[in-house]
Amino acid sequence: MTQKRTLLKYGILSLALAAPLSACAFDSLTVIGDSLSDTGNNGRWTWDSGQNKLYDEQLAERYGLELKPFQQWRL
């Protein structure tokens, strides 16, 4: 009986892992400003965003989204 249960558990687990997961689609990216998402007005601290993209810019580019400044943002 325990061997049957074990096989059943592994069978269910393998089916769950093999089934494609439904992806949640999203069409916007909201970034709450912090020192990691903008360079601010105090100059460069750790990252030169003029030459390298910040993480929020990389995410937006990867998912084909447009990253807009707060003033241009609409709900």
Per-residue model confidence as pLDDT tens digits over 7-18: 888 888 887 777
Percentage of the chain exceeding pLDDT 90: 0
Confidence band of 73 (pLDDT split at 50, 70, 90): low
Per-residue model confidence as pLDDT tens digits over 32-54: 766 666 655 555 556 566 677 87
Q: How far apart are CA 5 and CA 71, in angstroms?
A: 59
pLDDT at 14: 81
**Domain map of the chain by residue range?**
23-70
Model confidence at 27: pLDDT above 60: yes
Task: Report whether 33 contacts 73 (CB < 8 A).
Answer: no
Mean of pLDDT values over 13-34: 72
- Cα Rg for the chain, rounded, in angstroms? 22
Letter string b/e over residues 38-66, b meaning 16 or more CB atoms within 10 A of that residue's CB: ebeeeeeeeeeeeeeebebeeebeeeeee
